[in-house]
Amino acid sequence: MNAEPFLQLDRVIHEKGRLAIMSLLAASPQLAFTEMRDTLNMTDGNITAHLRTLQEAGYVSVTKEFQGGRPLTTFALTSRGRRAFTTYINLLEQIVQQTKSGK
């Protein structure tokens, strides 16, 4: 089996928690911090750490605003993040296809 696709997988996205965050954001234009935390059953500290890593990689952008007098923090995939996520998915599909075709 050709190990190349596996080696090309983005290490930032490859972590389970960050992959989950990227998956949620890929299906929504934006998501609030609490929405992601509750959907993924993560602790505040855990999800904050993952989001910081994704922000540092330039994959996720953060918007802070006020809604009804309360602070609202939302996250969205950047175009770079979307490209990286698409590439990651394509590589996973390649790995599956390679095994099916017996390469």
Partner 1 sequence: MESSWATESLQVIRTLMERSAIYRRALAPMMLLVGGLGLAAAVIGWLAGIGSPRGFAAYWLIVSVFALAGAFFVVRRQALTEGEPVWSAPTRRVAQALLPAFFVGLVCGFLTAWPTWREPLQVWWLPPIWMVLYGCALHSAGFFMPRGIRLFGGGFIVCGCATLAVVNARSYAAGMPDLANAHWLMGAAFGGLHLAYGVYLGFTEKGKNEA
* Residue closer to partner 1, measured from CB, 79 or 90: 90
* Minimum CB distance to partner 1, residue 25 (Å): 8
Greatest Cα pair distance in the chain: 59
Of 13, 14, 6, 92, nearest to 60 by C-alpha is 13
The interface region with partner 1, picked from 44-52, 54-62, 93-101 by CB under 8 A, is 93-101
Q: Six-digit token pair at 95?
A: 């790995």
Q: How far apart are alpha carbons 30 and 71 in whole angstroms?
A: 16
Q: Which of 10, 15, 19, 53 binds partner 1 (CB under 8 A)?
A: 19
* Minimum CB distance to partner 1, residue 70 (Å): 6
DSSP secondary structure letters along 81-102: HHHHHHHHHHHHHHHHHHHHHT
23 binds partner 1 (CB under 8 A): yes
C-alpha distances (whole Å) from 46 to each of 36, 53, 96 are 12, 11, 30
* Residue closer to partner 1, measured from CB, 79 or 86: 86
Contacting positions for partner 1 (CB under 8 A): 1, 3, 6, 19-20, 23-35, 38-40, 67-68, 70-74, 89, 92-93, 95-96, 98-100
